[in-house]
Amino acid sequence: MTGGLQEWPEPIVRVQSLSESGLHVIPDRYVKPPHQRPATTNHHHNVNNNNIPIIDLGGGRSSDEEIWAACRDWGFFQVVNHGVGPELMDRAREAWREFFHQPMEAKQRYANSPKTYEGYGSRLGVQKGAVLDWSDYYFLHYLPPALKDHDKWPSLPSDIREVIDDYGKQVVEFCGRLMRILSANLGLDEERLQDAFGGTNIGACLRVNFYPKCPQPDLTLGLSSHSDPGGLTILLPDHQVPGLQVRRGDDWITVKPAEHAFIVNIGDQIQVLSNAIYRSVEHRVIVNSAKERVSLAFFYNPKSDIPIRPVNELVTKERPALYPPMTFDQYRLYIRTKGPCGKSQVEALKSPR
């Protein structure tokens, strides 16, 4: 399944250790080519009319229409009144912040490999000599139950496993609700997209991102530009430190998180299922010289061995299927091997005309 990706090509360096060492110049390994640096690309720090849409899920049918518009126009939106408890959201973020501030030896027990990516990591992709991102992370499986292994989850702080379980349960319920709305908005039966994912037999995983302070934030990125390979992404951002940027034409919009809102984005698998009516959108993360940042990205994915293709109801003579069938297992090998590469993967997948 991993195509022989057993070990990292070079020794792993923890970005947090670099940051805490007090260095004033970042190592060359983290310096992006000039055209990728945040200082040399257009980006807007938000004026009020330049933020991704904020949708109140308590708004009845009008919120369904707002989600339809957001999926068509942005691929990203924020949601409030989503049903996940605000205290749980805050505790989840702070429990993970506490984990990243544990002594290094406590974290190293969970050091990951490219075989499954589970655990404590500092790079995505296995290309030797690649330019790296200014971040550490923790990756774990929540679903299916066969892949959920508490022993691969941190044991400190003492309540973190219970918090992950409670948080995952509530976010999965929220995802199910969104899937029904996304499906109905396409004119499909509201269970259609969920069924294409495998019904209740789906995948879900959590990637917690830790972006340490960076002495030269204009030269690097916390996470390079990419679209998400999976289905839906539910991001719990750091409410005090903006960092996520969403591509809008030639511009990068810095998202201003609303309090206790989730940031939702469409992944490549839903782009494929919808035959590109919904589109995944490139995004990236900038870093900060004064403040660290923690965010939780919850990925709601298809069952990994089901071939994902455009649903029949959305394929017509005028709009033929744009993508051939491919399982999510096959699909995610690309980002796990090459690292984040804009939207090159889903665009390369398109069937030749």
Comparing 125 with 318, the larger pLDDT belongs to: 318
**Is pLDDT at 96 greater than 80 in this prediction?**
yes
Secondary structure string (H, E, C) spanning the chain: CCCCCCCCCCCCCCHHHHHHCCCCCCCHHHCCCHHHCHHHCCEEECCCCCCCCEEEHHHCHHHHHHHHHHHHHCCEEEEECCCCCHHHHHHHHHHHHHHHCCCHHHHHCCECCCCCCCEEECCCCCCCCCCCCCCEEEEEEEECHHHCCHHHCCCCCCCHHHHHHHHHHHHHHHHHHHHHHHHHHCCCCCCHHHHHHCCCCCEEEEEEEEECCCCCHHHCCCEEEECCCCCEEEEECCCCCCCEEEEECCEEEECCCCCCCEEEEECHHHHHHCCCCCCCCCEEECCCCCCCEEEEEEEEECCCCCEECCCHHHCCCCCCCCCCCEEHHHHHHHHHHHCCCECHHHHHHCCCC
**Is pLDDT at 190 greater than 80 in this prediction?**
yes
Comparing 73 with 107, the larger pLDDT belongs to: 107
Compute the half-sphere exposure of residue 4: CA atoms within 13 Å on the CB side of its CA. Answer: 0
**pLDDT for res 352:** 55
Give pTM, 2 decimals.
Answer: 0.94
Interstrand relation of 203-211 and 307-308 (parallel, antiparallel or unpaired)? unpaired
Instruction: Please give the biggest Cα pair distance in the chain.
Output: 61
Span 54-82, average pLDDT: 92
**C-alpha gyration radius of the chain:** 19
**Is pLDDT at 48 greater than 90 in this prediction?**
no
**Is pLDDT at 175 greater than 60 in this prediction?**
yes
Span 164-180, average pLDDT: 98
**Is pLDDT at 210 greater than 50 in this prediction?**
yes
**Is pLDDT at 2 greater than 70 in this prediction?**
no
What percentage of the chain has pLDDT greater than the value 90? Answer: 83
**Is pLDDT at 305 greater than 70 in this prediction?**
yes
**pLDDT for res 40:** 60
Span 287-292, average pLDDT: 96
Give residue 45's pLDDT band: very low, low, confident or very high (50, 70, 90). low
Span 38-44, average pLDDT: 64
Burial of 41 (0-12, 13-18, 19+ CB in 10 A): middle
Closest CA to 77 of 51, 49, 58: 51
Give residue 304's pLDDT band: very low, low, confident or very high (50, 70, 90). very high
**Is pLDDT at 9 greater than 80 in this prediction?**
yes
Span 114-140, average pLDDT: 95
Give tens-digit pLDDT for 80-93: 999 999 999 999 99
**pLDDT for res 349:** 72
**Is pLDDT at 47 greater than 50 in this prediction?**
no
Span 43-63, average pLDDT: 74
Give residue 46's pLDDT band: very low, low, confident or very high (50, 70, 90). very low
**pLDDT for res 198:** 97
Most confident listed range (225-229, 284-288, 334-338)? 284-288
- Neighbouring-strand partners of residue 203: 301
Helices 61-73 and 160-185 cross at an angle (nearest 10°) of 90
Span 267-286, average pLDDT: 96
**pLDDT for res 313:** 97
Integer Cα distance of 112 and 115 in angstroms: 8
